[in-house]
Structure 1
């Protein structure tokens, strides 16, 4: 399984390596929501959480599906603008101005990416115009609790109001903690961007991509970039460009924006913390056996990002609920997933701290 980017006709000057403060803020919010994904940031997460204003913390939970389940495309708004060649801005305020330039349809569709709506990399109707997609978005929000339902309804009923709410929230996050983070990581990210840009100029795109990640390869003859991930998808630069956006907070996530009609973006980490020690041999054998099945690997990829119901997993994988339940039972017996009840829904989620102890290679592949 992999993601591919068709780069036929891509001119060298249309490849850019540029840090993005808004993307880094999105990754900071993700780390705060899912600290288990980022063992090296535990100290920072604890410090920020301890001093976070309770009102801001509550607002952070209100819309956390924008950064907990997946890294929403709203944090890369420049990729959606006409011409598909807009670059990230130098400041958060300037990038929030770019976010304001998205149409309501673009904003809502990218904000509701957690619905796993079909056609992400193909032409598809907007959720604002399609009653069936609207119903599906609300159904999936219901499995995540009343807070998610309320926010999703607000988003569907009054996009401009939610856009204003989100901008104010992101500005408050900047005041509360992100300005200090950006001051610390801005120069290292700029240094990495200069290094990758120099590789592009001196040795070409293949060398620059290899420096981004060993999971990213270029087939020059086929004019195609392939990213080794446990997901399938495709994108094309068309007459636009290709963006490489470094992140200091993102490891082990290697994000690929491949939304139809948007400029392709590789959002890649520039550092990697050490992980915990391996488990016992007996635990390792049990867990690796449970994880060796390809269907369970794909299930774990979803459960690593968020909690899902059995029905949701069955829909995503095109299987029956009993089939999914059997796979979940194997994973639970191995101590790899946790379950919790929310009303009439039972939610399953991967225990990423346990998977981390199996080895960094597996965890990186799962969360890439």
Structure 2
């Protein structure tokens, strides 16, 4: 499935690049709620968890549907400017009109956009929303009831939980990472002044592809949708803790579109295409090649020596080596009349993280 940004007629003025501490806090909360998605954050998670009061842990578990899977649009800026402080962003959240607040919260609780989300204050729409949320999980049903029973109390509880997170760990974390994210946003802003929007939107992640006619940028995601930039504008917000998730918010509102992109990806950290990941897995899954990899790991080795060790013909070994070279897992170098082959251990080691990254994007 594909999410598409329609940039036909879009100009640099339709985009705003900047930071959002509230969005970065949500990325942190997602990592806390889904630690198995983020093995690279084990040390950070351990430090943060050790310092969380039990009552805050309970509050985070209660609100987790707002950030565990479907990232709630409430945690992204609703209007320019960006680069505001967390207290300023929370003040904007407090002042957001009740209907929009309820609609965006309802989308997150259900984990999807749906018709009638802005009319859940009573009647059949309310009952349908609660039943659908309960079918998803008990915790989502509980949160749905709280939202429809007293939206303002729900909002107050959410803001209070965020403020407690800021005091417990995020204020210190933002002081550490905020300057770097601002530098990344500034680079993207400068790029927008020099290059076409489609080029910029494609450059922020290796999973994006662009077309010129019509001018569109396509992102490989687990849902489908289209957002027109010239109609709503677009925020480009870098994240550090959001890795490896590129988040696109095209919720059915008149709010600006959001691209929450990974700061490292913008700096062109090499990405591995899904097709190459599948080819590498298939290459080493064949029993003969898997056994060959064990011999190739320890030291450079010739074709004839491999054939002798494995008890097969040299042409068979050559065919296996050719396949492993095609997917980049084996390198070969000539020394005089001899050619030595060796496994690329780092690529094999990274296969697991590459698979996980490709699945989670």
TM-score by length of 1: 0.70
Larger proportion of helix = 2
1:207, 1:147 → 2: CA distance?
41
Q: Deviations over 1:178-223 (max 9, x none)?
A: 0011011101101111111222222332332233112223323313
**Counterpart for residue 271 of structure 1:** 264
**Counterpart for residue 75 of structure 1:** 75
**Counterpart for residue 240 of structure 1:** 232
For residue 146 of structure 2, the aligned residue among 131, 154, 173 is 154
1:102 equivalent in alignment to 2:92: no
1:125, 1:53 → 2: CA distance?
34
2:227, 2:80 → 1: CA distance?
17
Flag the 1:153–1:236 CA change in 2: closer, same or farther, 3 A. Answer: same
Flag the 1:360–1:146 CA change in 2: closer, same or farther, 3 A. Answer: closer
Task: Give 1:172 deviation, angstroms.
Answer: 0.8
Which of 106-115 and 20-29 deviates more? 106-115
Taking only aligned residues, the RMSD between alpha carbons, in angstroms, comes to 2.9
- The answer (yes or no) to whether the contact 1:255–1:266 under 8 Å persists in 2 is yes
For residue 206 of structure 2, the aligned residue among 214, 217, 232 is 214
- The answer (yes or no) to whether the contact 2:74–2:101 under 8 Å persists in 1 is yes
Flag the 1:209–1:238 CA change in 2: closer, same or farther, 3 A. Answer: closer
Q: In the TM superposition, what are the counterparts of 1:85-234 in structure 2 within 5 Å? A: 86-113=80-107, 114-117=109-112, 119=114, 124=116, 126-128=118-120, 131-143=123-135, 146-234=138-226
Q: In the TM superposition, what are the counterparts of 1:338-349 in structure 2 within 5 Å? A: none
Task: Give 1:117 deviation, angstroms.
Answer: 4.7
Max Rg structure: 2
Q: In the TM superposition, what are the counterparts of 1:314-333 in structure 2 within 5 Å? A: none
Unaligned runs of 5+ in 1: 79-84, 287-355
State the secondary structure of the residue aligned to 2:161.
helix
1:76, 1:271 → 2: CA distance?
20
1:364 equivalent in alignment to 2:354: no
Task: Give 1:54 deviation, angstroms.
Answer: 0.7
Task: Give 1:145 deviation, angstroms.
Answer: 5.5
Task: Give 1:239 deviation, angstroms.
Answer: 3.5
State the secondary structure of the residue aligned to 2:87.
helix
Q: Deviations over 1:121-157 (max 9, x none)?
A: xx75524157444334322443465554333211111
State the secondary structure of the residue aligned to 1:49.
helix
2:355, 2:137 → 1: CA distance?
31
- The answer (yes or no) to whether the contact 1:17–1:193 under 8 Å persists in 2 is yes
Unaligned runs of 5+ in 2: 271-276, 287-348
Flag the 1:161–1:129 CA change in 2: closer, same or farther, 3 A. Answer: closer
- The answer (yes or no) to whether the contact 2:133–2:144 under 8 Å persists in 1 is yes
State the secondary structure of the residue aligned to 1:359.
helix
1:285, 1:141 → 2: CA distance?
41
- The answer (yes or no) to whether the contact 1:242–1:264 under 8 Å persists in 2 is yes
**Counterpart for residue 311 of structure 1:** none
Flag the 1:89–1:267 CA change in 2: closer, same or farther, 3 A. Answer: same
- The answer (yes or no) to whether the contact 2:62–2:139 under 8 Å persists in 1 is yes
Structure 1 segments (4+ residues) deviating >6 Å: none
- The answer (yes or no) to whether the contact 1:115–1:136 under 8 Å persists in 2 is no
TM-score by length of 2: 0.71
Task: Give 1:77 deviation, angstroms.
Answer: 4.0
State the secondary structure of the residue aligned to 2:243.
coil
**Counterpart for residue 316 of structure 1:** none
Which of 108-117 and 29-38 deviates more? 108-117
Flag the 1:40–1:140 CA change in 2: closer, same or farther, 3 A. Answer: same
**Counterpart for residue 329 of structure 1:** none
How many pairs were matched up? Answer: 285
1:77, 1:207 → 2: CA distance?
24
2:198, 2:150 → 1: CA distance?
45
**Counterpart for residue 251 of structure 1:** 243
